[in-house]
Structure 1
Amino acid sequence: MDAHARFKTVKDLIVRSPELALFSPALPTIVTTDASDYGLGAVLTQLHKDNTERTVAFASRTLNNAERKYSTVEKEALACVWTTEKWRTYLWGRTFKLLTGHSPLMMLLTTKGLGRAGYRIARWSARLLSFNYELEYKPGNQNVVADCLSRLPLPSPDGPLEDEDVVVALITSALTTLTKEQFQAACSACPIQQKLQEFLTKRWPSNPKNLVPVLLPYFRVRD
Protein backbone atom coordinates (compact mmCIF):
# COMPACT_ATOMS: atom_id res chain seq x y z
CA MET A 1 0.00 0.00 0.00
CA ASP A 2 1.50 3.35 -1.01
CA ALA A 3 1.75 6.40 1.25
CA HIS A 4 -1.30 8.13 -0.26
CA ALA A 5 -3.52 5.10 0.33
CA ARG A 6 -2.27 4.76 3.90
CA PHE A 7 -2.95 8.43 4.56
CA LYS A 8 -6.51 8.08 3.19
CA THR A 9 -7.07 5.02 5.40
CA VAL A 10 -5.99 6.97 8.50
CA LYS A 11 -8.35 9.82 7.59
CA ASP A 12 -11.24 7.41 7.10
CA LEU A 13 -10.60 5.78 10.47
CA ILE A 14 -10.62 9.19 12.20
CA VAL A 15 -13.80 10.33 10.45
CA ARG A 16 -15.65 7.10 11.27
CA SER A 17 -14.30 6.77 14.81
CA PRO A 18 -17.06 5.97 17.34
CA GLU A 19 -15.11 7.92 19.99
CA LEU A 20 -14.59 11.24 18.15
CA ALA A 21 -17.20 13.76 17.01
CA LEU A 22 -17.55 17.29 15.69
CA PHE A 23 -18.81 19.91 18.13
CA SER A 24 -22.59 20.46 18.19
CA PRO A 25 -24.12 23.51 19.94
CA ALA A 26 -27.24 21.45 20.63
CA LEU A 27 -25.54 18.80 22.81
CA PRO A 28 -24.55 18.94 26.51
CA THR A 29 -20.88 19.91 26.79
CA ILE A 30 -18.36 18.64 29.36
CA VAL A 31 -14.83 19.88 30.08
CA THR A 32 -12.68 17.57 32.22
CA THR A 33 -9.36 18.81 33.61
CA ASP A 34 -6.42 17.55 35.64
CA ALA A 35 -2.95 18.68 36.67
CA SER A 36 0.28 16.89 37.53
CA ASP A 37 3.47 18.26 39.05
CA TYR A 38 4.68 19.38 35.61
CA GLY A 39 1.70 19.51 33.21
CA LEU A 40 -1.96 20.26 32.54
CA GLY A 41 -4.40 18.01 30.71
CA ALA A 42 -8.00 18.34 29.55
CA VAL A 43 -10.59 16.77 27.30
CA LEU A 44 -13.67 18.37 25.72
CA THR A 45 -16.56 15.94 25.28
CA GLN A 46 -20.27 16.00 24.47
CA LEU A 47 -23.10 13.72 25.53
CA HIS A 48 -24.92 12.36 22.49
CA LYS A 49 -28.52 11.18 22.18
CA ASP A 50 -27.51 7.53 22.57
CA ASN A 51 -26.04 8.51 25.99
CA THR A 52 -22.45 8.07 24.80
CA GLU A 53 -19.80 10.66 25.65
CA ARG A 54 -17.71 11.43 22.57
CA THR A 55 -14.54 13.49 22.38
CA VAL A 56 -14.35 16.80 20.51
CA ALA A 57 -10.82 17.86 21.49
CA PHE A 58 -7.84 17.08 23.69
CA ALA A 59 -5.44 19.61 25.23
CA SER A 60 -2.28 19.57 27.32
CA ARG A 61 0.73 21.72 28.04
CA THR A 62 3.84 21.69 30.18
CA LEU A 63 4.02 23.98 33.21
CA ASN A 64 6.73 26.61 33.21
CA ASN A 65 9.23 26.92 36.05
CA ALA A 66 7.11 29.41 38.01
CA GLU A 67 3.92 27.35 37.65
CA ARG A 68 5.66 24.22 38.92
CA LYS A 69 6.11 26.00 42.26
CA TYR A 70 2.35 26.43 42.66
CA SER A 71 0.53 24.40 45.28
CA THR A 72 -1.53 21.40 44.17
CA VAL A 73 -4.81 23.30 44.44
CA GLU A 74 -3.37 26.19 42.41
CA LYS A 75 -2.22 23.85 39.65
CA GLU A 76 -5.67 22.27 39.51
CA ALA A 77 -7.31 25.71 39.39
CA LEU A 78 -4.91 26.76 36.63
CA ALA A 79 -5.95 23.69 34.63
CA CYS A 80 -9.59 24.81 34.87
CA VAL A 81 -9.02 28.42 33.82
CA TRP A 82 -6.48 27.62 31.09
CA THR A 83 -8.69 24.96 29.52
CA THR A 84 -11.88 27.04 29.68
CA GLU A 85 -10.22 30.06 28.08
CA LYS A 86 -8.51 27.88 25.46
CA TRP A 87 -11.86 26.47 24.35
CA ARG A 88 -13.80 29.72 24.75
CA THR A 89 -14.96 29.44 21.11
CA TYR A 90 -17.00 26.37 22.12
CA LEU A 91 -17.97 27.40 25.66
CA TRP A 92 -18.70 31.11 25.76
CA GLY A 93 -22.41 31.92 25.96
CA ARG A 94 -23.61 28.41 26.83
CA THR A 95 -23.86 26.28 29.97
CA PHE A 96 -21.33 23.46 30.35
CA LYS A 97 -20.02 21.11 33.03
CA LEU A 98 -16.50 21.73 34.32
CA LEU A 99 -15.12 18.59 35.95
CA THR A 100 -12.06 18.66 38.20
CA GLY A 101 -10.22 15.89 40.00
CA HIS A 102 -9.51 18.10 43.02
CA SER A 103 -12.42 18.33 45.45
CA PRO A 104 -11.29 21.53 47.33
CA LEU A 105 -11.90 23.50 44.13
CA MET A 106 -15.61 22.77 44.48
CA MET A 107 -15.75 25.70 46.89
CA LEU A 108 -12.78 27.86 45.87
CA LEU A 109 -13.91 28.34 42.24
CA THR A 110 -17.52 29.17 43.13
CA THR A 111 -19.15 32.11 44.90
CA LYS A 112 -19.02 30.09 48.13
CA GLY A 113 -15.27 30.51 48.08
CA LEU A 114 -15.31 34.32 48.20
CA GLY A 115 -12.92 35.44 50.93
CA ARG A 116 -11.50 31.94 51.38
CA ALA A 117 -9.36 31.51 48.27
CA GLY A 118 -5.86 32.93 47.99
CA TYR A 119 -5.22 35.93 45.76
CA ARG A 120 -4.10 33.88 42.75
CA ILE A 121 -7.11 31.53 42.75
CA ALA A 122 -9.49 34.41 43.48
CA ARG A 123 -8.13 36.22 40.41
CA TRP A 124 -8.61 33.11 38.25
CA SER A 125 -12.12 32.67 39.65
CA ALA A 126 -12.93 36.22 38.55
CA ARG A 127 -11.73 35.39 35.02
CA LEU A 128 -14.14 32.45 34.95
CA LEU A 129 -17.12 34.69 35.76
CA SER A 130 -17.65 35.33 32.04
CA PHE A 131 -18.46 31.61 31.59
CA ASN A 132 -21.62 29.81 32.66
CA TYR A 133 -20.44 26.49 34.10
CA GLU A 134 -21.44 23.89 36.68
CA LEU A 135 -18.40 22.76 38.65
CA GLU A 136 -18.35 19.07 39.56
CA TYR A 137 -15.84 16.74 41.19
CA LYS A 138 -14.63 13.70 39.23
CA PRO A 139 -12.62 11.18 41.28
CA GLY A 140 -9.13 10.40 40.07
CA ASN A 141 -9.88 6.76 39.23
CA GLN A 142 -12.52 7.99 36.75
CA ASN A 143 -10.54 10.93 35.39
CA VAL A 144 -8.09 8.81 33.42
CA VAL A 145 -7.94 10.72 30.11
CA ALA A 146 -7.19 14.18 31.50
CA ASP A 147 -4.82 12.59 34.06
CA CYS A 148 -2.88 10.84 31.29
CA LEU A 149 -2.62 14.06 29.27
CA SER A 150 -1.32 15.97 32.30
CA ARG A 151 1.42 13.37 32.84
CA LEU A 152 2.42 13.32 29.15
CA PRO A 153 1.91 16.99 28.27
CA LEU A 154 2.82 18.69 25.04
CA PRO A 155 5.92 20.87 25.42
CA SER A 156 5.22 24.56 25.83
CA PRO A 157 6.49 26.44 22.75
CA ASP A 158 9.24 29.03 23.06
CA GLY A 159 7.85 32.54 22.72
CA PRO A 160 4.21 33.65 22.71
CA LEU A 161 1.42 31.15 22.16
CA GLU A 162 -0.30 31.42 18.80
CA ASP A 163 -4.00 32.16 19.01
CA GLU A 164 -6.10 29.39 17.45
CA ASP A 165 -8.46 31.99 16.01
CA VAL A 166 -5.51 33.50 14.13
CA VAL A 167 -4.56 30.07 12.80
CA VAL A 168 -8.08 29.58 11.48
CA ALA A 169 -7.94 33.01 9.85
CA LEU A 170 -4.69 32.08 8.11
CA ILE A 171 -6.10 28.80 6.84
CA THR A 172 -9.15 30.52 5.37
CA SER A 173 -7.27 33.49 3.94
CA ALA A 174 -8.21 32.42 0.40
CA LEU A 175 -11.87 33.25 1.07
CA THR A 176 -13.11 36.55 -0.33
CA THR A 177 -14.29 39.15 2.17
CA LEU A 178 -17.63 40.93 2.22
CA THR A 179 -17.89 44.58 1.35
CA LYS A 180 -19.31 46.98 3.93
CA GLU A 181 -22.48 47.32 1.83
CA GLN A 182 -22.95 43.53 1.58
CA PHE A 183 -22.49 43.17 5.34
CA GLN A 184 -25.02 45.92 6.10
CA ALA A 185 -27.53 44.42 3.66
CA ALA A 186 -27.17 40.98 5.26
CA CYS A 187 -27.67 42.44 8.75
CA SER A 188 -30.75 44.35 7.61
CA ALA A 189 -32.25 41.17 6.14
CA CYS A 190 -31.62 39.13 9.32
CA PRO A 191 -34.49 39.26 11.86
CA ILE A 192 -32.16 38.19 14.70
CA GLN A 193 -29.76 41.05 13.97
CA GLN A 194 -32.66 43.49 13.88
CA LYS A 195 -33.90 42.35 17.29
CA LEU A 196 -30.40 42.50 18.79
CA GLN A 197 -29.92 46.02 17.47
CA GLU A 198 -33.23 47.03 19.02
CA PHE A 199 -32.29 45.58 22.43
CA LEU A 200 -28.78 47.06 22.37
CA THR A 201 -29.93 50.57 21.47
CA LYS A 202 -32.89 50.55 23.89
CA ARG A 203 -32.90 47.93 26.64
CA TRP A 204 -33.22 44.18 27.11
CA PRO A 205 -36.43 42.77 28.61
CA SER A 206 -36.10 41.97 32.30
CA ASN A 207 -37.54 38.46 31.91
CA PRO A 208 -35.92 36.07 29.40
CA LYS A 209 -39.15 34.05 29.25
CA ASN A 210 -40.50 36.66 26.85
CA LEU A 211 -37.70 36.03 24.35
CA VAL A 212 -37.73 33.58 21.47
CA PRO A 213 -35.30 30.67 22.13
CA VAL A 214 -32.81 31.79 19.47
CA LEU A 215 -32.16 35.00 21.45
CA LEU A 216 -31.52 33.32 24.81
CA PRO A 217 -27.73 32.82 24.25
CA TYR A 218 -27.41 36.58 23.59
CA PHE A 219 -29.48 37.42 26.69
CA ARG A 220 -27.02 35.48 28.90
CA VAL A 221 -24.11 37.67 27.74
CA ARG A 222 -26.06 40.92 27.36
CA ASP A 223 -23.81 42.77 29.85
Structure 2
Amino acid sequence: MARLPNPKTLTHDQLIERWTNWLKQTEKASFHLYRSRYTWENIQRLFKANPPLQMDASHILEWMHRNFWNEHAIAIRKEMEHGKGYLTLMNFLDELERFSEVVLTRKRWMTLYSQQFFHEYGIPDKDFDGLPGAMCRYPKQSPDTDCISKDSVHRARINLKNVNTKVVNFAHAFVAHRTNIEKHDVSLADIYKAVNRIFDTYATYYRLVTNKTWMGRYPTPQFDWFKGFTYPWWTKDFKPFEPPE
Protein backbone atom coordinates (compact mmCIF):
# COMPACT_ATOMS: atom_id res chain seq x y z
CA MET A 1 0.00 0.00 0.00
CA ALA A 2 1.29 3.42 -0.93
CA ARG A 3 1.98 5.95 1.79
CA LEU A 4 0.41 9.39 1.50
CA PRO A 5 1.96 12.84 1.94
CA ASN A 6 0.92 15.02 4.87
CA PRO A 7 -2.50 16.53 3.97
CA LYS A 8 -1.73 19.68 5.98
CA THR A 9 0.76 20.68 3.27
CA LEU A 10 -1.88 20.57 0.50
CA THR A 11 -4.26 23.23 -0.78
CA HIS A 12 -7.99 22.56 -1.01
CA ASP A 13 -7.72 21.88 -4.74
CA GLN A 14 -4.84 19.50 -4.14
CA LEU A 15 -6.87 17.67 -1.51
CA ILE A 16 -9.74 17.28 -3.97
CA GLU A 17 -7.35 15.94 -6.59
CA ARG A 18 -5.80 13.57 -4.06
CA TRP A 19 -9.19 12.28 -2.90
CA THR A 20 -10.42 11.82 -6.46
CA ASN A 21 -7.34 9.80 -7.41
CA TRP A 22 -7.67 7.86 -4.17
CA LEU A 23 -11.26 6.93 -5.00
CA LYS A 24 -10.36 5.99 -8.56
CA GLN A 25 -7.87 3.46 -7.24
CA THR A 26 -10.61 2.02 -5.08
CA GLU A 27 -12.87 1.78 -8.10
CA LYS A 28 -10.29 -0.52 -9.70
CA ALA A 29 -10.14 -2.63 -6.56
CA SER A 30 -13.94 -2.75 -6.52
CA PHE A 31 -14.12 -3.99 -10.07
CA HIS A 32 -11.56 -6.68 -9.30
CA LEU A 33 -13.46 -8.03 -6.30
CA TYR A 34 -16.83 -7.99 -8.03
CA ARG A 35 -15.32 -9.65 -11.10
CA SER A 36 -13.82 -12.23 -8.79
CA ARG A 37 -17.21 -12.79 -7.17
CA TYR A 38 -18.82 -13.19 -10.59
CA THR A 39 -16.16 -15.74 -11.53
CA TRP A 40 -16.48 -17.72 -8.31
CA GLU A 41 -20.28 -17.85 -8.41
CA ASN A 42 -20.20 -19.22 -11.95
CA ILE A 43 -17.45 -21.73 -11.15
CA GLN A 44 -19.61 -23.09 -8.33
CA ARG A 45 -22.53 -23.46 -10.69
CA LEU A 46 -20.40 -25.31 -13.23
CA PHE A 47 -19.48 -27.84 -10.56
CA LYS A 48 -23.03 -28.19 -9.23
CA ALA A 49 -24.33 -28.89 -12.74
CA ASN A 50 -21.68 -31.55 -13.41
CA PRO A 51 -21.71 -34.57 -11.00
CA PRO A 52 -18.59 -36.23 -12.52
CA LEU A 53 -16.70 -32.97 -12.00
CA GLN A 54 -17.85 -32.87 -8.39
CA MET A 55 -16.59 -36.40 -7.86
CA ASP A 56 -13.21 -36.17 -9.56
CA ALA A 57 -12.28 -32.50 -9.07
CA SER A 58 -13.64 -31.53 -5.67
CA HIS A 59 -10.08 -30.78 -4.55
CA ILE A 60 -9.82 -28.15 -7.31
CA LEU A 61 -13.05 -26.48 -6.21
CA GLU A 62 -11.84 -26.50 -2.60
CA TRP A 63 -8.55 -24.88 -3.66
CA MET A 64 -10.39 -22.14 -5.59
CA HIS A 65 -12.78 -21.64 -2.69
CA ARG A 66 -9.93 -21.14 -0.21
CA ASN A 67 -8.17 -18.68 -2.52
CA PHE A 68 -11.40 -16.77 -3.06
CA TRP A 69 -11.97 -16.40 0.68
CA ASN A 70 -8.38 -15.38 1.32
CA GLU A 71 -8.44 -12.78 -1.44
CA HIS A 72 -11.61 -11.14 -0.14
CA ALA A 73 -10.68 -11.33 3.54
CA ILE A 74 -7.33 -9.64 2.93
CA ALA A 75 -8.93 -6.98 0.71
CA ILE A 76 -11.47 -6.18 3.43
CA ARG A 77 -8.79 -6.09 6.11
CA LYS A 78 -6.68 -3.79 3.94
CA GLU A 79 -9.48 -1.24 3.44
CA MET A 80 -10.38 -1.27 7.12
CA GLU A 81 -6.80 -0.68 8.34
CA HIS A 82 -6.45 2.63 10.17
CA GLY A 83 -3.27 4.66 10.59
CA LYS A 84 0.31 4.38 9.28
CA GLY A 85 -0.41 6.74 6.38
CA TYR A 86 -1.69 4.03 4.04
CA LEU A 87 -4.22 4.50 1.26
CA THR A 88 -7.17 2.71 2.86
CA LEU A 89 -10.85 3.43 3.29
CA MET A 90 -10.54 4.14 7.01
CA ASN A 91 -7.69 6.58 6.44
CA PHE A 92 -9.66 8.27 3.67
CA LEU A 93 -12.63 8.79 6.00
CA ASP A 94 -10.33 9.96 8.78
CA GLU A 95 -8.77 12.57 6.50
CA LEU A 96 -12.11 13.62 5.09
CA GLU A 97 -13.45 14.05 8.61
CA ARG A 98 -10.66 16.55 9.36
CA PHE A 99 -11.10 18.61 6.21
CA SER A 100 -14.70 18.20 5.02
CA GLU A 101 -16.04 21.39 6.62
CA VAL A 102 -13.44 23.60 4.93
CA VAL A 103 -13.15 21.77 1.60
CA LEU A 104 -16.56 20.25 0.84
CA THR A 105 -18.52 23.50 0.94
CA ARG A 106 -21.63 24.63 -0.89
CA LYS A 107 -19.52 27.24 -2.71
CA ARG A 108 -17.23 24.59 -4.12
CA TRP A 109 -20.18 22.30 -4.95
CA MET A 110 -21.75 25.06 -7.05
CA THR A 111 -18.65 25.20 -9.26
CA LEU A 112 -19.17 21.56 -10.26
CA TYR A 113 -22.18 22.59 -12.39
CA SER A 114 -20.75 24.16 -15.53
CA GLN A 115 -24.00 24.80 -17.40
CA GLN A 116 -25.94 27.94 -16.53
CA PHE A 117 -29.19 26.06 -17.02
CA PHE A 118 -28.70 24.21 -13.74
CA HIS A 119 -28.07 27.41 -11.79
CA GLU A 120 -31.15 29.13 -13.24
CA TYR A 121 -33.34 26.44 -11.72
CA GLY A 122 -31.45 26.22 -8.43
CA ILE A 123 -30.45 22.61 -9.02
CA PRO A 124 -26.96 22.83 -7.44
CA ASP A 125 -28.42 24.18 -4.19
CA LYS A 126 -31.14 21.54 -4.09
CA ASP A 127 -28.64 18.78 -4.79
CA PHE A 128 -26.29 19.99 -2.07
CA ASP A 129 -29.12 20.11 0.46
CA GLY A 130 -29.80 16.43 -0.27
CA LEU A 131 -26.22 15.26 0.23
CA PRO A 132 -25.42 13.04 3.24
CA GLY A 133 -24.07 15.26 6.01
CA ALA A 134 -24.95 18.62 4.41
CA MET A 135 -25.31 21.29 7.11
CA CYS A 136 -25.60 25.03 7.66
CA ARG A 137 -23.16 26.66 10.05
CA TYR A 138 -24.45 28.18 13.29
CA PRO A 139 -24.69 31.05 13.79
CA LYS A 140 -25.93 31.42 10.23
CA GLN A 141 -23.34 32.83 7.85
CA SER A 142 -23.13 33.02 4.07
CA PRO A 143 -24.70 30.03 2.29
CA ASP A 144 -21.30 29.60 0.66
CA THR A 145 -19.96 28.30 3.97
CA ASP A 146 -22.52 25.50 4.25
CA CYS A 147 -20.61 22.23 4.21
CA ILE A 148 -20.48 18.49 4.76
CA SER A 149 -20.23 18.04 8.51
CA LYS A 150 -17.27 16.23 10.00
CA ASP A 151 -19.65 14.52 12.43
CA SER A 152 -21.44 12.80 9.54
CA VAL A 153 -18.15 11.47 8.19
CA HIS A 154 -17.14 10.37 11.69
CA ARG A 155 -20.40 8.44 12.11
CA ALA A 156 -19.94 6.77 8.72
CA ARG A 157 -16.42 5.69 9.68
CA ILE A 158 -17.39 4.33 13.10
CA ASN A 159 -20.45 2.54 11.73
CA LEU A 160 -18.40 0.91 8.98
CA LYS A 161 -15.81 -0.19 11.51
CA ASN A 162 -18.45 -1.71 13.79
CA VAL A 163 -20.38 -3.61 11.12
CA ASN A 164 -17.21 -5.06 9.56
CA THR A 165 -15.42 -6.01 12.79
CA LYS A 166 -16.49 -9.65 12.54
CA VAL A 167 -14.97 -10.12 9.08
CA VAL A 168 -11.83 -8.15 9.95
CA ASN A 169 -11.25 -10.35 13.00
CA PHE A 170 -11.68 -13.41 10.79
CA ALA A 171 -9.05 -12.06 8.38
CA HIS A 172 -6.64 -11.46 11.27
CA ALA A 173 -7.10 -14.88 12.83
CA PHE A 174 -7.52 -17.20 9.86
CA VAL A 175 -5.80 -15.56 6.89
CA ALA A 176 -3.10 -13.11 7.95
CA HIS A 177 -1.85 -15.17 10.91
CA ARG A 178 -1.58 -18.74 12.12
CA THR A 179 -3.55 -19.45 15.30
CA ASN A 180 -4.91 -22.39 17.28
CA ILE A 181 -8.48 -21.32 16.52
CA GLU A 182 -10.12 -23.93 14.32
CA LYS A 183 -13.68 -22.67 13.85
CA HIS A 184 -15.27 -19.37 12.88
CA ASP A 185 -18.80 -18.11 12.30
CA VAL A 186 -18.12 -15.96 9.22
CA SER A 187 -20.19 -16.91 6.19
CA LEU A 188 -19.78 -16.11 2.52
CA ALA A 189 -22.75 -13.77 2.90
CA ASP A 190 -20.80 -11.88 5.59
CA ILE A 191 -17.87 -11.51 3.20
CA TYR A 192 -20.13 -10.22 0.43
CA LYS A 193 -21.87 -7.77 2.75
CA ALA A 194 -18.56 -6.40 4.02
CA VAL A 195 -17.34 -5.74 0.48
CA ASN A 196 -20.66 -4.12 -0.42
CA ARG A 197 -20.51 -1.84 2.63
CA ILE A 198 -16.96 -0.79 1.85
CA PHE A 199 -17.54 0.14 -1.73
CA ASP A 200 -20.99 1.65 -1.14
CA THR A 201 -19.25 3.98 1.30
CA TYR A 202 -16.67 4.88 -1.33
CA ALA A 203 -19.50 5.49 -3.80
CA THR A 204 -21.19 7.91 -1.41
CA TYR A 205 -18.07 10.00 -0.94
CA TYR A 206 -17.11 9.82 -4.60
CA ARG A 207 -20.35 11.73 -5.25
CA LEU A 208 -19.58 14.26 -2.52
CA VAL A 209 -16.09 14.92 -3.86
CA THR A 210 -16.72 14.88 -7.61
CA ASN A 211 -20.50 15.18 -8.15
CA LYS A 212 -20.21 12.12 -10.36
CA THR A 213 -22.15 8.90 -10.04
CA TRP A 214 -20.23 5.78 -9.10
CA MET A 215 -20.26 3.12 -11.79
CA GLY A 216 -22.08 -0.16 -11.22
CA ARG A 217 -20.44 -2.75 -9.03
CA TYR A 218 -20.02 -5.43 -11.67
CA PRO A 219 -17.99 -4.54 -14.76
CA THR A 220 -19.62 -5.34 -18.09
CA PRO A 221 -17.93 -8.38 -19.69
CA GLN A 222 -16.15 -7.45 -22.91
CA PHE A 223 -16.01 -11.04 -24.16
CA ASP A 224 -17.74 -14.42 -23.83
CA TRP A 225 -16.68 -15.36 -20.32
CA PHE A 226 -17.82 -18.98 -20.67
CA LYS A 227 -16.10 -19.75 -23.96
CA GLY A 228 -13.02 -21.14 -22.25
CA PHE A 229 -15.15 -23.87 -20.66
CA THR A 230 -16.62 -25.16 -23.91
CA TYR A 231 -13.59 -27.20 -24.99
CA PRO A 232 -11.28 -29.71 -23.23
CA TRP A 233 -8.43 -28.33 -21.15
CA TRP A 234 -6.40 -31.53 -21.30
CA THR A 235 -4.77 -31.75 -24.73
CA LYS A 236 -2.11 -34.00 -26.20
CA ASP A 237 0.49 -31.26 -25.66
CA PHE A 238 -0.19 -30.98 -21.93
CA LYS A 239 2.67 -32.02 -19.66
CA PRO A 240 1.91 -32.25 -15.92
CA PHE A 241 4.20 -30.38 -13.56
CA GLU A 242 6.80 -32.61 -11.95
CA PRO A 243 8.11 -31.24 -8.64
CA PRO A 244 11.91 -30.98 -8.53
CA GLU A 245 13.75 -33.16 -6.09
Bigger Rg, structure 1 or 2? 2
TM range (shorter): under 0.3
The two structures have a TM-score, normalised by structure 1, of 0.24
Would you tell me which structure has more helix in proportion to its own residues? Answer: 2
The two structures have a TM-score, normalised by structure 2, of 0.23
Greater relative contact order (Cα < 8 A, sep 6+): 2
